[in-house]
Amino acid sequence: MSTIQPANKIRVLYVDDEPNNLLAFKASFRRKFEIFTAHSAAEGISVLNSEMVHVVIADQRMPQSTGVEFFDIVRVSHPEPVRMLLTGYTDVEAIVDAINKGQIFRYIKKPWDELELETAINNAFEVYHTRLQLKEKVQELERTNDELNRFVYSTSHDLRSPLASVMGVLNLAKMEKSVIDPNGYMQMIESCIQKMDFFILKVIEYYKSIRVEEVNQPVDFKMLINESIELCRMQNPAITFKVEVNQPRQFYVDVFRMSVILNNLISNAVKYQKPDELNPIVKLVVDVTDEKAVISIEDNGVGILEDHVNNIFKMFFRSNFTVNGLGIGLYIVKEALNRIGGEISVKSKQGDGTKFEVSIPNKLPVTSNKPSQLVAEEI
């Protein structure tokens, strides 16, 4: 197996309470690697604080702390160097536990074989180098993703202005009756513009949901749900909303994201009603405890195919193409829930409606304990 040859020597820290071992290690490897030595775990931490090290090797049996205990600290304070354990004892359980917990890359038995240890150090440096490259790639992807999000957000805002101008011209033409349109082309144009504007608004909503810092505030679920209902009612004025809010205590949550979640779920419940349904209903139930709020939103609409249920939270997935949707609303819901530590489940049967259940943790401050209200009403 080929080994990476760095421009500078591999920097190795060896921690051992036996001076002879430190001298022997340095004598064996000083020509191949840049060696740092320490007589104790505390001295080893001091070296790591002041020097860049690629590989850390420690003896398991030391008087003040074992090698595993030393690595337990190093793993948190200096996670970059690759860790290896030297032991002359058959302390198998401690070694296996250290490997399983990610405290060490591998272990070498004492007395060490010089070729085996040299190979292990080179292998450890390959791991270090690969991790460093991966970290740089992740940072590069994060920067690119951030730039892309900013570009999409900026472009979405810029697109709304000409769309508003076109819509204004169309409305003016309709008011003045200055255009003869026997085939209804203007209505088609207006419908397309409205759809595009709605899509742009969803993109902006998604951007804000992933970028805005989480701010937990007390929420009145009755008021928040009524606001969402008023936004969605115009989609289908015939729908009856049945709301039950059981909030006997104060609940803290990110109100912006909570509003995004409710707006999209209620909008879906309204949008995916059956066209011939004589009694369209959307039921909303909220139960608040000290630990969480459970919100269910149930409709008697078209439902979801069983094969599609596992895909509905994917971006641009649409279960029903007879309804004028974008396939982004539930994706936004899922992203917003991830940000506030919530969960969502769905039960649905095609033709019988859909029920979403959302569980959200209460970010209630320790000192707050304010009772609220029980509300059951039909809107």
| Residues 70-98: tens digit of each pLDDT | 988 998 999 999 999 888 766 667 677 67
Axis-axis angle for helices 67-77, 41-50 (nearest 10): 30
Please determine, for residue 378, whether its predicted confidence score (pLDDT) is greater than 50: no
- pLDDT digit string (tens) for 309-357? 888 888 777 776 566 666 778 888 998 999 899 999 999 988 889 999 9
Q: Are residues 119 and 37 in the same domain?
A: yes
Minimal CA–CA distance to 259: which of 289, 284, 228?
228
- pLDDT digit string (tens) for 107-117? 888 888 899 99
Domain residues for the domain of 230 are: 214-378
At which of 151, 182, 210 does a domain end?
210
Per-residue pLDDT, 297: 95
Q: Are residues 342 and 264 in the same domain?
A: yes
Q: Are residues 57 and 155 in the same domain?
A: no
Q: Are residues 99 and 244 in the same domain?
A: no
d(CA 123, CA 112): 16
Contact, 32 vs 57, CB < 8 A?
no
At which of 137, 157, 182 does a domain end?
137
Question: What's the domain count of the chain?
Answer: 3
Residue 16 located in a structural domain: yes
Segment (H or E) for 252:
strand 252-254
Residue 60 located in a structural domain: yes
Q: Are residues 372 and 225 in the same domain?
A: yes
Contact, 111 vs 88, CB < 8 A?
yes
**What does the mean pLDDT of the chain come to?**
84
> Which CATH number does the domain housing residue 97 bear?
3.40.50.2300
Per-residue pLDDT, 56: 96
Q: Are residues 200 and 219 in the same domain?
A: no
Residue 3 located in a structural domain: no
Q: Are residues 122 and 81 in the same domain?
A: yes
Q: Are residues 227 and 188 in the same domain?
A: no
Q: What is the mean pLDDT of residues 244-256?
A: 93
